[in-house]
Amino acid sequence: MSIPKLSEAVIRDRANAKSFQRGEDYYQVGAVISLTLRGDLLQSEVEAREIGTYAVRVKFDRNGIHFADCNCAYNFDGWCKHIVATMLMCVRHPESIQKRPTLEKLLDSLDHLQTQKLVQDLVQEHPHLIEDIDQHVSLITQTVTPQKSVAAKPIRQALDTAPLRRQVRNILHDAVRYWEDGYEDDPIREELLSLVQTAVEFCNHGDAHNALAFLRAITSTCVDNWEDVEQYGADNEEIVEELNDAWCEAILSVELTPKEKTDLQLNLEGWQDEWNADFNLALEALRQGWDYPPLLEVLEGNITNLGAWEAEPPDYADDLALVRLKILERQQCYQEYLYLAEAEGQTQEYLTMLARLGRVEEATKAAQAQMTLMEEAYALARTLKMQGASQEALEIAQMGLKLPGHSRYELGTWTSDLAEELGNLEVALTSRKTAFAASPSFIDYQTIQDLAGDNWKIVKQDLLEILRTYLGWNKESAKVDIFLHEGLVDDAINTVTDLSSYHAELIHRVMRTAIKENPDWVIANARKRAEKIMNAGKSEYYKFAVDWLEQARNAYLESRRKADWSNYKESLIQQHVRKRKLMGLFKQAGMG
């Protein structure tokens, strides 16, 4: 497929101002050294200063960008600088994208012997691949047919975990070498979580007994070797959380003998103490199994205020319920699923399962009585649409927009798209305005303009007022995009005046536009920022001070105050003449 239409406005909307500016810098110096499109997956290599390269992946679908990720450590506010640089390259130089066949097409072109030789050659060139191949061959060849009962009978087709233990040790030992070389990224998290997910896949394929063996190998090897990485600041919290869930699912997916239960309990308690970990969820699953009396009552439809518990539920009650629901669904025990979801207050799971079972009228009626969060409405609406009940989905989505929650933007845009698809332009417009109020963007501003038609002048004023009063974080770029698009320079100035120089690129952009209409503001704001840097005497930031002074100079000259600029410049030189680096930068900029 070809890459959907992109714009710099889209990129700005997905990254904060600092990441965008750094991505721009990377793009300008040619840091994006490769761009390859295979089907709907774009891959790039971005050269990082003194570190090597980072790998960026961007997946597209018919609606645009499905996801974008990078193997750098950034995981905070939107896209990292490497993704930004990649997308800027796509927008500005689409001819640089090299289109190549997908892996599936490449493998389809080989016969059995050619495929075997390819793997052998790759292992010869990259010897460490043999461990991954060993592990995956074990997974493929030892997968068994799923069992019908909730807890599968014990499976005695033993999995050889020696390659896995070596792999975990290698991950931890490689991390030590990585950190000793001065890198700060976390090379452990993604690889270990991938192994845990492999154990979960065993459960999905009905092989929970080998899932337990897999988890035992991962957990024990981590515990035995964690001290090596702990001194470098490695944190086990996220890994333990994933292991805890995986252990819980595996335990509830297999029938264990009394001895196996005792041995596993001792292991989990020992690892918990030695690793300072929390395996209470897994231990509770081991204690209860599927024979816990309150649970049995619920699965038969006898629901009380305590749900599936004898007393007050613990903090992990929701997690345990979700794991049980996953297993019940896998075993097609749908009525038991509904009983448990209702008893444990899992409203989203209850409503969406009704819809998935085709019980649309029952789902919508229950939703009116039970929904309390917009996330529940969003999930149900999407499920209803997939079931072909688009009108009911729209009604549920509209209800959801009136509920509390944290997905107002996502639900608003989804509702708008669905309403437009159904020809209900009034709902499409109001829903998109709701989304805009939750998270303003230039793209949605333009979409609303199209939906508003002849009413645009009135609607535009509403949107501009939303922008002027919006107090949410990290929407300065969207505000500036819209204000400058409408020629509202003073509003753009008000947006950036008090921003820190962290937003330098955005402030410079407003200054370049405002120089004709309000040179006094440009001069005052640029001087203030430059003087703060120069007076602090931190030479590594002098370049930024000179950038601000160039803005001030341009504003002085634009307003025909060359003499005022000369006097100000001379006063700066007299004050800072001993700062050699600063004076050198002055001369380079023609201010010496």
What is the C-alpha to C-alpha distance for residues 424 and 43, in angstroms, rounded to an integer?
39
Closest CA to 86 of 136, 131, 126, 48: 48
Q: At what angle do helices 162-180 and 208-230 cross, to 10 degrees?
A: 30
- How many CA atoms within 13 Å lie on the side-chain side of 388? 3
**Chain-centre distance of CA 65, in angstroms?**
13
Amino acid code (one letter) for 511: M
Cα torsion 180, 184, 185, 187 to 10°: value is 20
What is the spatial distance between Cα 127 and Cα 134, in angstroms, rounded to a whole number?
12
Distance separating alpha carbons of residues 453 and 438, to the nearest angstrom? 22
Give every CB contact of residue 159 below 8 A, 6+ residues apart in sequence: 138, 142, 210, 213, 214
Between the CA of residue 9 and those of 14, 15, 34, what are the distances in Å?
9, 10, 23
Q: Are strands 32-38 and 98-100 parallel, antiparallel or unpaired?
A: parallel
* Structure token digits, residue 229: 């990485």
Nearest to residue 341, comparing CAs of 303, 315, 374?
303
Token representation of residue 162 = 């020696």
Note down pLDDT in tens along the chain; length 592 residues: 567 767 777 787 788 777 888 888 888 888 999 999 998 899 999 987 556 788 999 988 776 788 888 888 676 668 999 999 999 999 888 889 999 998 888 888 888 888 888 888 888 888 877 877 876 676 555 543 333 345 544 444 567 899 999 999 999 998 898 888 887 777 788 889 989 999 999 999 889 999 999 999 999 999 999 999 998 889 999 999 999 999 999 999 999 999 999 999 999 999 999 999 999 999 999 999 999 999 999 999 999 999 999 999 999 999 999 999 999 999 999 999 999 999 999 999 999 999 999 999 999 999 999 999 999 999 999 999 999 999 999 999 999 999 999 989 989 999 999 999 999 999 999 999 999 999 999 989 999 999 999 999 999 999 999 999 999 888 999 999 999 999 999 999 999 999 998 889 999 999 999 999 999 999 999 999 999 999 999 899 999 999 999 999 999 999 999 999 999 999 999 999 999 999 999 999 988 6
Q: Report CA-CA distances (Å) from 419 to 66, 429, 439.
A: 22, 9, 20
What the block records as the tokens of 7 is 């714009």
Q: In the β-sheet with 32-38, what is the strand arrangement from edge to edge?
A: 64-70, 52-61, 41-48, 32-38, 98-100
Report the b/e string of 272-306 with b at 16+ CB within 10 A: beebebebbbbbbbbebebebebbebbbeeeeeee
Question: What does 365-418 look like in DSSP terms, one character per residue?
Answer: HHHHHH--SHHHHHHHHHHHHHTT-HHHHHHHHHHHTTS--S-HHHHHHHHHHH
